């Protein structure tokens, strides 16, 4: 078997909560997983089993929480 490379640009929310477990296991099994996410999120968090690349957004964590 050979490990693969996976680039993920997730949507925040329940989709990410389900996807996180899959990505974590893929990383544990030798796949190279890179997640590209905004620096301000509700649920998207890093893992030791994949690489997180963050990009800037024009709002703060506090502003996002106020909206929701």
Break the chain into its structural domains and give their ranges.
5-67
Is the Cβ–Cβ distance between 17 and 41 less than 8 Å? no
Per-residue model confidence as pLDDT tens digits over 2-53: 779 999 999 888 889 889 999 999 999 999 999 999 999 989 999 999 999 9
Is residue 64 very low, low, confident or very high in pLDDT (cuts 50, 70, 90)?
A: confident
Supply the DSSP symbol for 42: S
Report pTM.
0.84
> With 70 as the cut, is the pLDDT of residue 61 above it?
yes
Q: Six-digit token pair at 19?
A: 């996807």
Least Cα distance to 20 among 59, 55, 53, 46 occurs for 46
Cα–Cα distance, 8 to 22 (Å, whole number): 12
Q: Six-digit token pair at 21?
A: 């477990």
Whole-number pLDDT of residue 65:
86
CB atoms within 10 A of CB 54: 14
């Amino acid at each position: 078997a050979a490990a693969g490379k996976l680039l993920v640009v997730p949507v925040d929310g329940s989709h990410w909560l389900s996807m996180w477990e899959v990505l974590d296991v893929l990383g544990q099994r030798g796949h190279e997983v890179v997640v590209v996410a905004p620096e301000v999120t509700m649920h998207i968090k890093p893992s030791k089993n994949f690489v997180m690349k963050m990009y800037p957004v024009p709002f703060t964590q506090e502003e996002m929480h106020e909206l929701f």
